[in-house]
Amino acid sequence: SQKIEQNSEALNIQEGKTATLTCNYTNYSPAYLQWYRQDPGRGPVFLLLIRENEKEKRKERLKVTFDTTLKQSLFHITASQPADSATYLCALGSRRGSTLGRLYFGRGTQLTVWP
Amino acid sequence: GAGVSQSPSNKVTEKGKDVELRCDPISGHTALYWYRQSLGQGLEFLIYFQGNSAPDKSGLPSDRFSAERTGGSVSTLTIQRTQQEDSAVYLCASSLAGTALAKNIQYFGAGTRLSVL
């Protein structure tokens, strides 16, 4: 079965620095990959989607890369702010008809940005 | 409503009782998903609906768990004879789903926190 690993359960960085979160996966070839943000007591919120044939996607201070050879995605937050503190989840998208639309989530990385 | 709505937001029950959790998806979203999230854990997939049918129910942990969806809208997750290990946050999500990847973005509710005493 597929396995998704996100780097260290917690990442602490100083405000203004770039946060880099890692998502590695095995036994799977996703059609796409998504990143979500989850705040305490809330459901996850979609941030970015990147397809298997794309290398990089950007949205404001966010950047996602996708390397299907390494089976890895990197999620970057530049000029980080305390408001970026949250848990970030990566999710792999199914390509199979019966499960089209289903996502396989990693356990998440808790990011803390301190002033 | 504008987003996915779940009720109740909190549920405390006694071991052995049955509970029903409700999810109102975003209007027009054909796909609906149930997940379970235990403290400090990731999202555990339970079941996926496309319309009123469930092509993937592989994540239901036991036959005490069941779910239905009616009218292509509201869904109910039922847990019978609850056990303490059922305590978790139950999240519902909906999406347009389909062949266009952008349609597979999932929109989540705030969840129902279930505590089994």
Q: What are the boundaries of each domain within chain B?
A: 5-116
- CATH code given to domain B5-116: 2.60.40.10
Domain hosting A47: range is 3-114
| Among the listed residues B80, B90, B96, the one whose alpha carbon sits nearest the alpha carbon of residue B25 | B96
CATH of the domain at A54: 2.60.40.10
| Confidence (pLDDT) at B36 | 96
Residues of A whose CB is below 8 A from B35: 105
- Based on the structure, what is the number of domains in chain A? 1
Residues of A in CB contact (< 8 Å) with B are 31-32, 34, 41-46, 49, 51, 89, 93, 98-108
Cβ pair B107:A105 closer than 8 A: no
A-proximal residues of B, 95-114, CB under 8 Å: 95, 97-99, 101-111
| Confidence (pLDDT) at A96 | 64
Distance in angstroms (rounded) separating the CA atoms of residues B44 and B96: 21
| Confidence (pLDDT) at B2 | 80
The predicted-structure confidence for B79-99, as pLDDT tens digits, reads as follows: 999 999 999 999 999 998 755
Confidence of residue B39 (pLDDT cuts 50, 70, 90): confident
- Position B1 pLDDT exceeds 60: no
Cβ pair B103:A101 closer than 8 A: yes
| Confidence (pLDDT) at B6 | 98
- Beta-carbon contacts of residue B72 (< 8 Å; ≥ 6 apart): B30, B51, B52
| Residue A28, token pair as written in the block | 């799977």
Amino acid at A20: T
φ and ψ of B102, to 5 deg: -60, -25
Distance in angstroms (rounded) separating the CA atoms of residues A102 and A104: 7
What tens-digit pLDDT sequence spans chain A (115 residues)? 667 878 767 899 999 999 999 999 988 888 889 999 999 999 999 999 998 889 999 999 999 999 999 999 999 999 999 999 999 999 998 766 656 667 889 999 999 999 9
Distance in angstroms (rounded) separating the CA atoms of residues B10 and B61: 21
| Among the listed residues A67, A10, A75, the one whose alpha carbon sits nearest the alpha carbon of residue A36 | A75
